[in-house]
Amino acid sequence: MDASIRHRRDEASRAAPTWKVGELAARTGLSVRALHYYEEIGLLSPSRRTEAGHRLYAADDVLRLQRIVSLRHLGFTLEEIRACLRDGSGFPARRVVELHAARVRERMRSQQRLLHRLEALAFRLDPAAEEVPAGEFTQAVMEVIEMSERVERYYTPEQLEALERRRRELGEERIRAVEAEWPTLIEGVRAEMEAGTDPADERVQRLAKRWMELVGEFTGGDPGIERSVGNMWRQEENIHGIDTGEMREMMAYVSRATASSNERG
Amino acid sequence: MDASIRHRRDEASRAAPTWKVGELAARTGLSVRALHYYEEIGLLSPSRRTEAGHRLYAADDVLRLQRIVSLRHLGFTLEEIRACLRDGSGFPARRVVELHAARVRERMRSQQRLLHRLEALAFRLDPAAEEVPAGEFTQAVMEVIEMSERVERYYTPEQLEALERRRRELGEERIRAVEAEWPTLIEGVRAEMEAGTDPADERVQRLAKRWMELVGEFTGGDPGIERSVGNMWRQEENIHGIDTGEMREMMAYVSRATASSNERG
DNA sequence: ATACGCCCTCACGCCGCGTGAGGTTCAAGG
DNA sequence: CCTTGAACCTCACGCGGCGTGAGGGCGTAT
C-alpha cells in the first residue's frame, strides 16, 4: 500500500523516491509535529514540496534525519546536533562525546544523591501510616536532608557506593533490627560507665563485643569506612540526636574493654 | 544590620517579626523571582503587604517555604508540593515518596543506558582524530545504538552491571588488546578448520586454549553471563559484522578441541 | 457527490523560573 | 530637606522540544 502510493507519486515526477511527513514520522518514531519543528528551526527541511505545499523528503533528507535521530538517542540537544551536522564539516567527535558523557555522569551523580535521600526518607516513614501530618513529614524530610548532606561530606563516593551495596545485602529488616538494638546497647554501656564498672568486667565485655559486632555490620570491615565514621563522630556535635561528646567517651570505654579482652584472650 | 531593619519594621506594627522577599531569598537560596512565581501559582503568598505593596512574609510563611524548599530538594514538582501542603491535610507520605523514588530510579536506568552507549561510542572513536567526518561519526553512532539495543535484550540489568564492573577492572588498554587479538585468533581457527585439522591437534589445542581464556576474560567466569552470550550468538545473524553461522561452527570446533584436551589431561 | 484521511499553517501551552524594562519606595548620608 | 543607591514593584518575553488543538485544503475510494 505504502509502495503503491510512492509508485504513483514517483511516476508523476519520473524521478527518485520521496516520502511524505506521515510516512517519515511512522518510520522514525517521531511525530509529524516534531518534523515540522525541525524544519522551523532549520535542522531538516524537505528538499521539495508538492504544488499544494505538502512536504516531500528525498533520500538525502531521510539520511540526515536518521543521523538526527541517532544523536537524539544519545541525548544531544537539537542545537548540538545542528552543529555536528553543519555543512559536511568534521568535528572533534571523541571529545564531544566524552564531554557529553561527563555531563550525563554528573546528572547521574545528583540523581544518585536524590535517590539516597528518598530511600532514607521512605525508611524513616511508617509504612502503615496512611495519612501523615504535613508537619511530621516535612520534619522528616529536613532531618534526612541535613543528615545526607553531612554524610556526603564525610564519605567518598566509592565509600557511599560500598555502604549502599552492604545495605542491600543486609536488607531492610536487618537494618531496622540493628537500629532498634542501638539505643538499648548505648543505654547499657552508659549505665556501666556511670556505675564506674571496670572495662575488664565480664558484663562490659559482653556489651563491648556486641557493640563491635554492630559497628562491623555497618562498616563491613572496610578500614576506610571505619576511618570516615570515626572522623564524623569526632567532628560533628550531634548525630541522630546523640551528643557526640558523651558518645566519644563511650567509644573510648568500649575500646578499653575490647583491648583488655584482647590482652587476656 | 538585618536585625536593625527588622526592628524598625516591627516597631511600626508592634507585632510579630516579618521578612521581605530579598531577605527570604537570601536565607533560602531561592531567587526573588522564584518567590514571586510561587505567589503567582498560589503556592506561597505573603500574609501581609506594606502600604506600598512590598511583600511581608510572617513566620508561618517562612515555615511553609522551608517545607517547599525541602520538597524541591527531593525533586518534587511544584504541583506535587502544592498537593502535599494542601490545607493541613495529611497524605500517604511513604507511598508518595516511594513512587517518586521509583520515578527517579527509572530515569537513572535510562541515563545508565545512555552512558553505556556514549562510552561504547567514545571507545570506538579514535582518540587522536581531531576532525571526524560526519558520515563516519553517524555511522559509528548507529552501530553502537544497534549493538546496545541488542545487548540490552540478551543481558539482565544485573549482568550488565557485572560486565561494567569487569570492564572497569580490566581497563581500556586491556580491552583494546583483547579486541585486537580476536580477529587474528578467529583467522587462525578458520584456517585450521578449512584445512580439516583434527581438533585434537596440538596447534588447535593452543588456539582453543587462548580462545577460552579470552572468553573467560569477558565473562569473568559468571555462568549466567556465559549463557547470555551463548543465546546471543545462537539467535542473532551477525554480531560486530561477524557471521554467526560460521562463528557457531568455529565455537563447536573449539569446544571439541577443549573436550579432547580435557579427556587426555 | 461525499466521506474520510492525510496534509497545511497559525498559535497557545507546558515547567520553573531568568532576564530585562520601566517605575516606585525605603533608609541612609550630606 | 534633598539626593543617592539599593531594594522593591509589575509586566512581559524567553528558553527546549515539542503536544494539542483550531480551522481549513488536498487526495482518493466509494
Looking at residue A2, what is its pLDDT? 45
For residue B145, the chain A residues in CB contact (below 8 A) are 70, 73-74
Q: What is the mean pLDDT of residues B127-144?
A: 82
Residues 119-148 of B with CB under 8 A from A: 119, 121-122, 125-127, 129-134, 137-138, 140-142, 145
Q: Is the pLDDT of residue B223 over 50?
A: yes
**What is d(CA B254, CA B249) in angstroms, rounded to the nearest whole number?**
9
Highest mean pLDDT among A190-199, B57-66, B200-209: B57-66
Looking at residue B247, what is its pLDDT? 87
CB count, 10 Å around CB of A186? 16
Q: Is the pLDDT of residue A90 over 90?
A: no
Percentage of chain A modeled with pLDDT above 70: 92
The reply to whether A102 touches chain B by the CB within 8 Å rule is: no
**Is there a contact between A91 and B119 if contact means CB atoms under 8 Å apart?**
no
Highest mean pLDDT among A120-129, B93-102, B125-134: B93-102
**What is d(CA A207, CA A197) in angstroms, rounded to the nearest whole number?**
12
- The residues spanned by each domain of chain A are 2-88, 92-154, 171-265
Q: Nearest nucleotide, C1' to the C-alpha of B72?
A: C16
**Is there a contact between A115 and B108 if contact means CB atoms under 8 Å apart?**
yes
Looking at residue B14, what is its pLDDT? 57
Average pLDDT, chain A: 87
Q: What is the CATH number of domain B2-88?
A: 1.10.1660.10
**What is d(CA B234, CA B240) in angstroms, rounded to the nearest whole number?**
14
Highest mean pLDDT among A4-8, A42-46, B225-229, B257-261: A42-46
Looking at residue A240, what is its pLDDT? 81
For residue B127, the chain A residues in CB contact (below 8 A) are 94
Give first-to-last CA distance, chain B, whole Å.
88
Q: Is the pLDDT of residue B15 over 80?
A: no
Average pLDDT, chain B: 87
pLDDT digits (tens, 9 = 90+) for B154-169: 999 888 888 888 888 8
pLDDT digits (tens, 9 = 90+) for A51-67: 999 999 999 999 999 99
Q: Is the pLDDT of residue A24 over 70?
A: yes
**Is there a contact between A111 and B111 if contact means CB atoms under 8 Å apart?**
yes
Closest CA to A175 of A236, A209, A124: A124
Percentage of chain A modeled with pLDDT above 90: 42
Which one-letter DSSP state was computed for residue B57? B
> Which chain D positions come under 7 Å from a protein C-beta?
7-10, 12, 16-20, 25-28
Q: Is the pLDDT of residue A223 over 80?
A: yes
pLDDT digits (tens, 9 = 90+) for A176-207: 898 889 889 899 889 999 998 998 999 888 98
pLDDT digits (tens, 9 = 90+) for A146-176: 899 899 899 998 888 888 888 888 888 888 8
Could you tell me the pLDDT band of residue A264, with boundaries at 50, 70 and 90?
low
Q: Which residue has the cell 509502495?
A: A3
Grid coordinates belonging to B208? 582453543
Beta-carbon contacts of residue A249 (< 8 Å; ≥ 6 apart) = A193
Looking at residue B10, what is its pLDDT? 56
**What is d(CA B196, CA B192) in angstroms, rounded to the nearest whole number?**
6
Beta-carbon contacts of residue A153 (< 8 Å; ≥ 6 apart) = none
Beta strands in A93-237 (DSSP E): none
Looking at residue B69, what is its pLDDT? 95
Which one-letter DSSP state was computed for residue A87? G
Are the CB atoms for B61 and B44 separated by under 8 Å? yes
Beta-carbon contacts of residue B27 (< 8 Å; ≥ 6 apart) = B19
Looking at residue B263, what is its pLDDT? 73
Looking at residue B157, what is its pLDDT? 83
Could you tell me the pLDDT band of residue B136, with boundaries at 50, 70 and 90?
confident
**What is d(CA A70, CA A80) in angstroms, rounded to the nearest whole number?**
13
Return the SS3 of A262: helix
Looking at residue A89, what is its pLDDT? 67
**What is d(CA B132, CA B130) in angstroms, rounded to the nearest whole number?**
6
Could you tell me the pLDDT band of residue B88, with boundaries at 50, 70 and 90?
low
DSSP state letters, B153-182: HHS-HHHHHHHHHHHHHHHHHHHHHHHHHH
